[in-house]
Amino acid sequence: MIINILGNTTWGITLAKVLSNGNNQVNLIYRDKEKLSNVQADKYITVKEFKVPKSAKINHINVEDCNFSDNDLLIISVPSPSLEKNLSLIKNKINHNTQIISASKGFDKNGNTLSVLIKNKLNISNENIGVLSGPNLSSEILMGKPATSLLSFNDINKADNFRDIISNEIFRIYSGNDVIGSEIGGSLKNIIAIGCGIIDKMDLGDNAKSAFISRGLREIVRFGTSFNAKEYTFYGLSGIGDLVATCSSNLSRNWQFGYALASGKTLEGFIAENKVTVEGANASKIVNDVALKKGLEMPIIKMTYKVVHENYNPVDAIKEFMSRNPSKERN
């Protein structure tokens, strides 16, 4: 099958490498012509500290030259802030039968999940949009280490079909049909990971970190079920699986940002130094705003938002969280 991947991001290149291991032909689509020229002139694709050997199964093409047929699959892997711009470049190349998988995480500027933005921008049916999400640290996958992920479509049969197409011996895919739950789990875990980076830098210990992750998961469930997501989704790969990986690994960008924040860095400084998007920082503001409007109690999200965007001292945030009124665990 032909798999088109929009986005020569770290995750996009990782997906191109791992999905070309089977019987699939991959088209990696570039928006930046200079980057494309550099890749075409080199023997390797450079991503992070890795030099990925070029493969005959991966074509590198400019977005202006790409076209999608009914039988093609399009995977979108771009940062949430640039998603709308990227979609505008392919809008006239998409037909109503193109099958799309979102491998991006976050929300648009209006607080919508990214599948909603894709649907509205490309004018396609919800039934043709799936979500890929799970504990997928790109550096480990680039090293050839095994990983799993969840692929969700509203139609479970469609999820099963594409699962079988893209799954292989080092990237095992499970199927599901809770698209909104998968998206919310994959987006909110980035916020919790920022807090875990702060906790690790402050050397608050494993007890504090475990509690933070556990209570963070409770807030993810509370937020997700308010959008009619299925609670069990948050106890699977795109929920607690992704949460544990992102909160526990120093390979996680959001964890790295939290660690840097507790070291005195600012959001702007971290982005400028690393030239990356911190999805958890973007999501913290959106989720905090939505939680306030819905009347949802989400103290971890609120504290993380204040530390990231209002320069609230992490020490004071921890004290405030620990001093809250006693409550039942299921609250």
Q: Which of 121, 189, 302, 306 is catalytic?
A: 189
Would you state the structure tokens that stand for residue 288, as one six-digit string? 């905090």
Rounded Cα distance, 76 and 213, in Å: 28
Answer yes or no: are the C-beta atoms of 257 and 276 closer than 8 Å.
no
Indicate the residue type of 295.
G
Active site residue 51: no
Rounded Cα distance, 172 and 218, in Å: 27
Rounded Cα distance, 15 and 75, in Å: 9
Q: Which residues are catalytic?
A: 189
